[in-house]
A and B are shown apart, each in its own frame.
Chain A
Amino acid sequence: MQDIIKPPVVDRRLSIAPMLDWTDRHCRYFLRQLSRHVLLYTEMVTTGALLHRDPERFLDYHPDEHPLALQLGGSEPGELARCTRLAGEWDYDEINLNVGCPSDRVQSGRFGACLMAEPALVAECVSAMRESTRRPVTVKHRIGIDERDSYDELSRFVETVADAGCRTFIVHARKAWLQGLSPKENREVPPLRHETIYRLKADFPELEIIINGGILGLDEVVRHLEQVDGAMIGRAAYHDPWLLAAADRRIFGDSAGPSSPRAVVLEMQSYVEQELARGSRLHHITRHMLGLFQGVPGARAWRRHLSEQANRPGAGWQTLLDAMAHIDDRSRPHRPFLRPLVSRKIIPHFICDKAFNRVTRRNAMTLMKTSNPWSLLDEFNREFSRMLPGFADDDSRVVGSNWAPAVDIKEEDDRFVIRADIPGVSADDIDISMEKGVLTISGERKHEAKEDKEGYHRIERSFGTFMRRFSLPENVDADKISASSKDGVVEVSLPKAVKQEDQPKKITVKNG
């Protein structure tokens, strides 16, 4: 069946990546409450699942989810064509072929990232799909796989697939190792190469190139849009969904957008009630909402309440309201100020040996000897987040630093000021850098000792590397950040502005 009505043009300036076990119906409906325009993708659906089981289970969605793309996994042109026709019947706005997923689950079926090694086959698939629909057919792939990661290989792939009629390429800025790395490691280990994708756009200006991989927020999206046609956000959107709230205004030039995270929850009421009436479990909806209040007082209690209560029998809309009662967003607006990413309190830890600080230390006795209680707490946090995926605070836990300075943060009319107690470190050994909206203060404290190692009666001080990171509010002018140091106190001044930050920036510390 051919589509009769010409489909609307899909605006891909900002999209949310297809994520297995994550971007299900509930997730997409929730994200839609945050942005009317962002393009949403389904989880990858394999051709086998669609053709041999009930397609309704995989294809049904709420009409409000538009604009919505279906991502298919497969490598058999005939099957992909049939699935593409189904997508048309279900009125998806775009059909996307997955050539980027490195999961074992995916490799064994001979689809996903391993197809990058077979551009001719991908081209064949794309042309079979295009013949089955007038809707756009797009391809999501990586910059390379395994040893085949040269730019030539990448551009040959794009060229071959473009010849088959694909106009839109969503490119992940990390290559994938098909052997030896888990999907999670494949998201983190290979380095991000955004510039490779910029080059691709420059070489194929007539193609629509969407950048993906490691994009943390709208500032970065805006920056990427100067180089490519669109940006796709992945995990950042589920760790901190509220970041999408400004998307309609900042990316799509529409004044709409939710007024507060609380308003977003309230918008969910009728959906939640309808879904529960249909037999959905509350937990399956709320698991996507855990990160919504990121950075607001009470967020932890909100998450805990939902994690503990939402899967109990009888959990319903009231459960959400009860969870939201923990949120204290009246006293301050959402994320109005600079916040430490690692909320370490004033007690530093003592004499650490770098070698002992390795993550691998597990044994309590060994840890006692290392004298580094914070690594214990970090360990505890890690264990905990491993047990409860989606519960992790953020990716910012600083592994490998020996101590963290205490700070005061003040907001003045025209700037923010961070004062960090860093006694005994010369300005040359302090490193302040600003990247991706995150300010990092790091460095190393060396012992000033001239005396011999024997003879210490008391050592309470800690030495070695330190680090602390802060997420910046969007109104900080990254170009004007300055820092000075006096009497062991480092003062970082962050002037407010409306301007965006540009490139990663180093800030030198003046001696005072």
Chain B
Amino acid sequence: MSSLRQNIDRAWAQVQAGWNNLVSKASNALTHFVHKDEEQSAERRDLLRSTPEWGLLAAEVHEDGEQVTVRLEIPGMEADDFDVEVIDRTLIVSGHKHVENSRKEGRYRITECAYGEFERRMPLPAEVDSSKAEASYERGILTLTLPKTEREKVRRIPIANG
């Protein structure tokens, strides 16, 4: 019995540790998907209701001397469905992920993916020139290349190891 308790305590400690870790890592990626009622058909509205309202848009932000690169995992979109803005030092990616529905009949048995309108804001590590930004969408990954402003480029002076 005491070994049972030990096992449970240990397992519980692990779950807690994992949970804290998950929250610290994921809370930024957790994004609300808003279900708008504008969907035409009743089936689609039913389907939307069964999908989760929260989804993860996992991101990655990299900075080097010249530019900031942002990658965002958002599969199943059309390139035109994105809206990307930079306001001050905040990147805002918004869009509408539509339910894939090439065929009307049938019913969804399991829906784990989130659909609807979303917006994700991310602070950028440096000031960027949004007019020179480039975006590409490939294999479900949105990649944004944001060149730093001239001011930013000179701000950081590399220190050589000696």
Q: Which residues of A contact B (CB under 8 A)?
A: 337-340, 345-350, 362, 364-365, 367-368, 371-377, 379-380, 383-384, 387, 406-413, 417, 419, 421-426, 448-449, 451-452, 455-462, 485, 487-489
Say yes or no: A348 contacts B56, CB within 8 Å.
Answer: yes
Say yes or no: B11 contacts A460, CB within 8 Å.
Answer: no
Give the docked Cα–Cα distance between A347 and B108 (Å): 20
State which of A387, A461, A485 has its C-beta within 8 Å of the C-beta of B73: A461
B38 within 8 A of A: no
Give the docked Cα–Cα distance between A376 and B59 (Å): 23
Say yes or no: A412 contacts B103, CB within 8 Å.
Answer: yes
Give the docked Cα–Cα distance between A362 and B62 (Å): 33
B14 cross-chain contacts in A, Cβ below 8 A: 364, 367, 376, 379-380
Give the docked Cα–Cα distance between A135 and B141 (Å): 68
Say yes or no: A461 contacts B71, CB within 8 Å.
Answer: yes
Query: Could you mark each residue 60-86 of chain B with 1 if its beta carbon is under 8 Å from any beta carbon of chain A, else 0?
Result: 111110000101011111100000000
A379 cross-chain contacts in B, Cβ below 8 A: 11, 14
B159 within 8 A of A: no
Tell me whether A413 and B7 are in contact in the complex, defined as CB-CB below 8 angstroms, given that A406-B113, A423-B75, A457-B61 are known contacts: no
Given contacts A408-B112, A457-B61, 15 further A-B contacts (CB under 8 A): A346-B56, A349-B25, A364-B14, A367-B17, A368-B20, A383-B10, A384-B11, A413-B106, A423-B140, A424-B71, A451-B69, A457-B62, A487-B137, A487-B139, A488-B76
Say yes or no: A410 contacts B109, CB within 8 Å.
Answer: yes
State which of B19, B26, B139 has its C-beta within 8 Å of the C-beta of A423: B139
A339 cross-chain contacts in B, Cβ below 8 A: 109-110
Say yes or no: A409 contacts B17, CB within 8 Å.
Answer: no
Q: List 24 A-B contacts (CB under 8 A).
A: A340-B110, A346-B52, A364-B10, A364-B14, A368-B18, A373-B22, A406-B112, A408-B51, A410-B108, A411-B109, A412-B103, A413-B106, A419-B76, A419-B113, A421-B75, A421-B140, A423-B74, A451-B69, A456-B61, A457-B62, A458-B28, A485-B139, A487-B76, A487-B137
Say yes or no: B56 contacts A377, CB within 8 Å.
Answer: no
B34 cross-chain contacts in A, Cβ below 8 A: none
Say yes or no: A488 contacts B140, CB within 8 Å.
Answer: yes
Q: For chain B residues 1-35, which have a beta carbon within 8 Å of chain A?
A: 4, 7-8, 10-15, 17-22, 25-26, 28-29
Q: Which residues of B contact A (CB under 8 A)?
A: 4, 7-8, 10-15, 17-22, 25-26, 28-29, 51-52, 54-56, 58-64, 69, 71, 73-78, 100, 103, 105-114, 122, 125, 137, 139-141
Closest Cβ–Cβ distance, residue B75 to chain A (whole Å):
3
Give the docked Cα–Cα distance between A461 and B142 (Å): 13
* Among A387, A452, A455, A488, residue most surrounded by chain B Cβ atoms (within 10 Å): A488
B108 cross-chain contacts in A, Cβ below 8 A: 408-411
State which of A411, A413, A424 has its C-beta within 8 Å of the C-beta of B141: A424
Give the docked Cα–Cα distance between A439 and B139 (Å): 23
Tell me whether A455 and B64 are in contact in the complex, defined as CB-CB below 8 angstroms, given that A337-B109, A383-B11, A488-B75 are known contacts: yes
Closest Cβ–Cβ distance, residue B73 to chain A (whole Å):
4
Tell me whether A487 and B110 are in contact in the complex, defined as CB-CB below 8 angstroms, given that A346-B52, A350-B25 are known contacts: no
Specify the chain B residue showing the minimal Cβ separation from A368: B17
B8 cross-chain contacts in A, Cβ below 8 A: 383
Give the docked Cα–Cα distance between A417 and B107 (Å): 10
Give the docked Cα–Cα distance between A455 and B111 (Å): 36
- A-B pairs, top 7 by smallest CB distance, nearest first, are A488-B140, A488-B75, A423-B140, A373-B18, A412-B106, A376-B18, A406-B112
Say yes or no: B75 contacts A489, CB within 8 Å.
Answer: yes
Specify the chain B residue showing the minimal Cβ separation from A384: B11
Say yes or no: B52 contacts A408, CB within 8 Å.
Answer: no
B15 cross-chain contacts in A, Cβ below 8 A: 376-377, 380
Give the docked Cα–Cα distance between A309 and B157 (Å): 70
Give the docked Cα–Cα distance between A376 and B11 (Å): 8
Say yes or no: A345 contacts B73, CB within 8 Å.
Answer: no
Give the docked Cα–Cα distance between A489 and B112 (Å): 13
Tell me whether A451 and B76 are in contact in the complex, defined as CB-CB below 8 angstroms, given that A364-B14, A409-B108, A423-B141 are known contacts: no
* Among A413, A457, A489, residue most surrounded by chain B Cβ atoms (within 10 Å): A457
Tell me whether A426 and B60 are in contact in the complex, defined as CB-CB below 8 angstroms, given that A408-B113, A460-B25 are known contacts: no
Give the docked Cα–Cα distance between A323 and B59 (Å): 45
Closest Cβ–Cβ distance, residue A384 to chain B (whole Å):
7
B51 cross-chain contacts in A, Cβ below 8 A: 408
Say yes or no: A362 contacts B107, CB within 8 Å.
Answer: no
Specify the chain A residue showing the minimal Cβ separation from B122: A458
Give the docked Cα–Cα distance between A373 and B71 (Å): 23
Specify the chain A residue showing the minimal Cβ separation from B126: A457
Give the docked Cα–Cα distance between A349 and B24 (Å): 11
State which of B13, B61, B112 has its C-beta within 8 Å of the C-beta of A346: B112
A383 cross-chain contacts in B, Cβ below 8 A: 7-8, 10-11
B59 cross-chain contacts in A, Cβ below 8 A: 458, 460-461
Specify the chain A residue showing the minimal Cβ separation from B79: A487
Specify the chain B residue showing the minimal Cβ separation from A449: B62
Say yes or no: B106 contacts A410, CB within 8 Å.
Answer: yes
Say yes or no: A412 contacts B56, CB within 8 Å.
Answer: no
Say yes or no: B19 contacts A347, CB within 8 Å.
Answer: no
Give the docked Cα–Cα distance between A364 and B59 (Å): 27
Give the docked Cα–Cα distance between A346 and B54 (Å): 9
Specify the chain B residue showing the minimal Cβ separation from A340: B110
A462 cross-chain contacts in B, Cβ below 8 A: 58
Closest Cβ–Cβ distance, residue B25 to chain A (whole Å):
5
Say yes or no: B113 contacts A346, CB within 8 Å.
Answer: yes
A488 cross-chain contacts in B, Cβ below 8 A: 73-76, 139-141
Say yes or no: B75 contacts A380, CB within 8 Å.
Answer: no
B71 cross-chain contacts in A, Cβ below 8 A: 424, 448, 461
Give the docked Cα–Cα distance between A412 and B122 (Å): 39
Tell me whether A461 and B58 are in contact in the complex, defined as CB-CB below 8 angstroms, given that A376-B14, A383-B11 are known contacts: yes
